[in-house]
Amino acid sequence: MSSKFTASLCLQLSFLLLLQTVFSAQLLPPGAFCSQLSLNFTADHDPYATSLNELMQYLSYHSASTGFSLGSKGANQYKTYGLALCYSYVSPTDCLNCVVEASKKIRRQCPYRKGANIWYDDCFLKYMNLDFFGLIDFSALVMCNPGNATDPISFNQHKTELLSQLANNVSTSLKMYRTGELELAGSAGKLYAEAQCTRDLFSVDCKQCLDHFIAKYACNGRPGGRIYGGSCYLRFETYDFFSASKLSQNLGV
Ligand SMILES: *[C@@H]1O[C@H](CO)[C@@H](O)[C@H](O)[C@H]1NC(C)=O
Ligand SMILES: *[C@@H]1O[C@H](CO)[C@@H](O)[C@H](O)[C@H]1NC(C)=O
Ligand SMILES: *[C@@H]1O[C@H](CO)[C@@H](O)[C@H](O)[C@H]1NC(C)=O
């Protein structure tokens, strides 16, 4: 892993996720990570700004059909690389809306930066003036649901087991995601989870990214959580947050 990607950002936010439904297209206030590592450009007429505009249009246009897009625009020192990922249970319409919004917001949140990540409820968008494709970006935005799981120790064990299985199995999916469920002990109901990676990663790196997050950002004892990463994504809940798109998942995996 290159040292320029080791700067890891972790914003611990306690967030009220409980009121959300899988049908809501509502966007979270975005979490943005403006790269400190790459130089700024200077003005709206900088050729890098032109490359960035073209890249954002490209990503907006190409993400919805498969939930992922990747591209680069510009040349030489003005070249910019980017990707956009929608989470697997997000509909194409919500994906489009999210990436369009993210592509505007990322430039307002990180003006004149040559690199930035932005996370929304439904999607993730990243650009950089370096070719980062295939490299694991460990930056993360972590949101743990408030409250306590009924039996935190047992809950954590089940959660780790399910998430680890998903991290192992994700390599068998062309779209680099897996969803799964597990019966909790007693009458505590079920645990539902998803693991997903950006599709520029090799499977082995996808697993490494997920395993790192499982070990590091556990939301211990919390009844739900989301880890929005620069290369991978994890979510677990005690309700079925992906059922609405189960059919398309089965077709799409
Ligand atoms: C880039 O711009 C930001 C915001 O204006 C500023 O805080 C930062 O120091 C600048 N970084 C460099 C490397 O010039
Ligand atoms: C969760 O558990 C902690 C420690 O036992 C306690 O301090 C806290 O108030 C609990 N939170 C809720 C929402 O029940
Ligand atoms: C992972 O794959 C194994 C082997 O195919 C399977 O038995 C298991 O149910 C899968 N687990 C999940 C959570 O997808």
Q: Is residue 209 part of a domain?
A: yes
Count of structural domains within the chain: 2
Q: Are residues 16 and 117 in the same domain?
A: yes
Residues 233-244 have a mean pLDDT of: 89
CA–centroid distance, residue 234 to ligand 1 (Å): 31
Residue with the larger pLDDT of the pair 62 and 244: 62
Q: Mean pLDDT in the chain?
A: 84
Q: Is residue 3 part of a domain?
A: no
**pLDDT, tens only, 170-222:** 988 889 999 999 999 887 799 999 999 999 999 999 999 999 999 998 799 99
Number of Cβ atoms within 10 Å of the Cβ of 182:
15
Please tell me the number of the ligand nearest to residue 110's CA: 1
| Proportion of the chain above pLDDT 90, given as a percent | 66
- Say if residue 154's pLDDT is above 80: yes
Model confidence at 29, in pLDDT bands (50, 70, 90)? Answer: low
CA–centroid distance, residue 222 to ligand 2 (Å): 10
Residues 22-40 have a mean pLDDT of: 59
39 lines ligand 1 (CB under 6 A): yes
Residue with the larger pLDDT of the pair 14 and 43: 43
Burial group, residue 46, by CB count within 10 angstroms (0-12, 13-18, 19+): middle
Q: Are residues 57 and 110 in the same domain?
A: yes
Q: Answer yes or no: are the C-beta atoms of 91 and 75 closer than 8 Å.
A: no
Rounded CA separation 54/134 (Å): 22
Q: Are residues 126 and 147 in the same domain?
A: no
Model confidence at 37, in pLDDT bands (50, 70, 90)? Answer: low
State which of 110, 133, 156 marks the end of a domain.
133
Residue with the larger pLDDT of the pair 250 and 160: 160
Please tell me the number of the ligand nearest to residue 164's CA: 3
CA–centroid distance, residue 69 to ligand 1 (Å): 28
Q: Are residues 118 and 201 in the same domain?
A: no
18 lines ligand 2 (CB under 6 A): no
Per-residue pLDDT, 105:
92
Rounded CA separation 68/99 (Å): 10
Q: Which domain holds residue 63?
A: 10-133
What are the DSSP calls for the chain, one per residue? Answer: --GGG----EEEEE---TT--TT--PPPPPEEEE-SSS-B---TTSHHHHHHHHHHHHHHHHSTTTTEEEEEES-GGG-EEEEEEE-TTS-HHHHHHHHHHHHHHHHHHSTTBS-EEEE-SSEEEEEESS--TTS----EEEEEPSS--SSHHHHHHHHHHHHHHHHHHGGG-TTSEEEEEEEPSTT--EEEEEEEE-TTS-HHHHHHHHHHHHHH---TT-S-EEEEESSEEEEEESS-TTGGGHHHHHHH-
Please tell me the number of the ligand nearest to residue 159's CA: 3
Is the overall model pTM greater than 0.85, yes or no?
no
Model confidence at 251, in pLDDT bands (50, 70, 90)? Answer: very low
Q: Is residue 5 part of a domain?
A: no
Per-residue pLDDT, 1:
32
**pLDDT, tens only, 61-115:** 999 999 999 999 999 999 999 999 999 999 999 999 999 999 999 998 888 899 9
Residue with the larger pLDDT of the pair 98 and 9: 98
Which residue is closest in CA terms to ligand 2's atom 9?
147
